[in-house]
Amino acid sequence: MPRQSAPKDLSLRWLELFQICAQKGSLQAASKETGLTISTVSHHLRNLEDHLGVELFNHARRPMVLTPKGRVFLRNIDDALQLIRKAKAEASAGSIAEASYLRFGTIEDFDSDIIPELAVFLSARMPACDFMYHTDSSHAIIDMLRDRQLDLGISTTPGEKMRDLQDRPLLRDPFVIVLPKGNDASLGDLVEGRTRLPLLRFSSHLIIARQIESQLRRLGIVASRRFECSNNQTLMSMVAAGAGWTITTPLLYSRAKRFQPKLRMYPFPGKRFARTLALVSTPDCSRSVIELVNAKTRALINDHIISPLSADIPWLADGFELIE
């Protein structure tokens, strides 16, 4: 199979693109992730196949399917590529200014108050670095970290183990009840379903929804599913309009500033529970970058969210806090 024009030296870029294409199953997906054109990705794959003298993909199949030799090759290079990335990260660990690339993901909870200022800070401290920022749900951020599509992320800590990912707890965010202003229903009656005011829920596929549902089950409470929503602002607008009440967290309440004059927040009655937000990284992410992001993120959370909100609502000081 080798062509006379095949390059002589094996390229690390070919290996990385081969790995991405094998994971994604399409040139289009690899193109979107890397920012390269489809023709460029295809050219690099052909160069790799020409260099090795074997077909790694069955090019007649859609989506792309590895040949038996392609599967063996992928299995052998996966560990090698991870070791190379780890070596590169450790080599730059002592110099933040020399960091060259960072793919950072975050949940929407921080995309208005924290991430813009963090991005400005990091771009000043890491002038040679190319950044990619991505906002998504917690489970999507964790999946992208597992697939090595991100280096670092902020997410809700899930109930299950995160395998080889490393997490540093950032914030304890207790669950609270938010009611329309002026509603005089007792919290106990609300939680136990003894009022006509419905519970407005987060969409069931979200980690936060599963945490709330687990707690309600532990309390033996079954609430109707009249309304579900994955967008925090929409949920807060519905409560502000008097359409129902919700179980949420102080962090999410803090983002709904335009609706707060029509809302009231209360501690969850009975046994309290909380979610943990964490800084999650891949094993090959630079330690010095993790430390820098961790320290700055903590300072921003305290200055922009915890301190002002606790000043207005003093009872939040008992539980809404950074995790040391």
CATH code of 163's domain: 3.40.190.10
pLDDT in tens, 221-239: 776 667 888 889 999 999 9
Assess if residue 5 is contained within a domain.
no
Say yes or no: 119 and 157 in one domain: yes
Assess if residue 219 is contained within a domain.
yes
* Phi/psi at 133 (5° precision): -105, 140
Q: Which residues of 13-29 are buried (b: 16+ CB within 10 A; e: fewer)?
A: ebbbbbbbbbebbebeb
Say yes or no: 180 and 264 in one domain: yes
When pLDDT is averaged across residues 67-80 and rounded to a whole number, the result is 88
pLDDT for residue 228: 87
Of 262, 254, 268, 256, nearest to 313 (Cα)?
254
Assess if residue 199 is contained within a domain.
yes
Assess if residue 80 is contained within a domain.
yes
Contact 144, 178 (CB under 8 A): no
**87 has pLDDT over 70:** no
pLDDT for residue 3: 46
pLDDT in tens, 18-62: 888 888 888 888 887 777 888 888 888 999 999 998 999 987 777
Say yes or no: 251 and 110 in one domain: no
Say yes or no: 128 and 53 in one domain: no
Sequence-ordered strand ranges (E) for the chain: 57-58, 65-66, 101-106, 130-135, 152-156, 166-174, 176-180, 200-202, 227-229, 246-248, 263-267, 274-281, 321-322
Question: Rounded to an integer, what is the distance from CA 158 to the centroid of its chain?
Answer: 11
Say yes or no: 318 and 185 in one domain: no
- Residue keyed to tokens 């800084």: 279
Range of the domain at 226: 176-272
Q: Of 91, 114, 133, which one is at a domain's C-terminal end?
A: 91
Say yes or no: 231 and 148 in one domain: no
Q: Of 60, 91, 122, which one is at a domain's C-terminal end?
A: 91
Of 202, 205, 242, nearest to 223 (Cα)?
202
When pLDDT is averaged across residues 178-203 and rounded to a whole number, the result is 84
pLDDT for residue 78: 82
pLDDT in tens, 185-196: 788 778 777 788
C-alpha span between 87 and 117 (Å, rounded): 30
Assess if residue 1 is contained within a domain.
no
Contact 266, 187 (CB under 8 A): yes
| Number of domains forming the structure of the chain | 3
The CA-based angle 318-187-275, given to 5 degrees, is: 45
pLDDT for residue 143: 87
Assess if residue 193 is contained within a domain.
yes
Say how many residues make up the chain: 324
Other Cβ atoms closer than 10 A to 104 = 22
Say yes or no: 162 and 284 in one domain: yes
Q: Of 66, 91, 116, which one is at a domain's C-terminal end?
A: 91
DSSP-derived secondary structure letter, 294: H
Say yes or no: 160 and 35 in one domain: no
DSSP string, 247-291: EE-HHHHHH-GGGGGGEEEEEPSSS--EEEEEEEE-TTS-HHHHH
CATH code of 56's domain: 1.10.10.10
208 vs 283, higher pLDDT: 208
Assess if residue 4 is contained within a domain.
no
Mean pLDDT of the chain: 86
pLDDT for residue 86: 66
C-alpha span between 226 and 199 (Å, rounded): 8
Assess if residue 251 is contained within a domain.
yes
pLDDT in tens, 236-257: 999 999 999 999 999 999 999 9
Region for 282 from its dihedrals, namely left if φ exceeds 0, alpha if ψ lies in -120 to 50, beta otherwise: beta
Say yes or no: 78 and 20 in one domain: yes
Say yes or no: 180 and 267 in one domain: yes
pLDDT in tens, 111-131: 878 999 999 999 998 888 888
pLDDT in tens, 17-28: 888 888 888 888
pLDDT in tens, 146-158: 888 899 999 998 7
DSSP-derived secondary structure letter, 111: T
Say yes or no: 289 and 229 in one domain: no
Say yes or no: 87 and 224 in one domain: no
Q: Do the bridges between strand 263-267 and strand 176-180 make them parallel or antiparallel, or are there none, so unpaired?
A: antiparallel
Question: Rounded to an integer, what is the distance from CA 107 to the centroid of its chain?
Answer: 5
pLDDT in tens, 91-104: 545 567 667 788 99
Q: pLDDT grade, residue 2 (50/70/90)?
A: very low
DSSP string, 199-250: BEEE-TTSHHHHHHHHHHHHTT-----SEEES-HHHHHHHHHTTS-BEEE-H
The CA-based angle 284-110-119, given to 5 degrees, is: 60
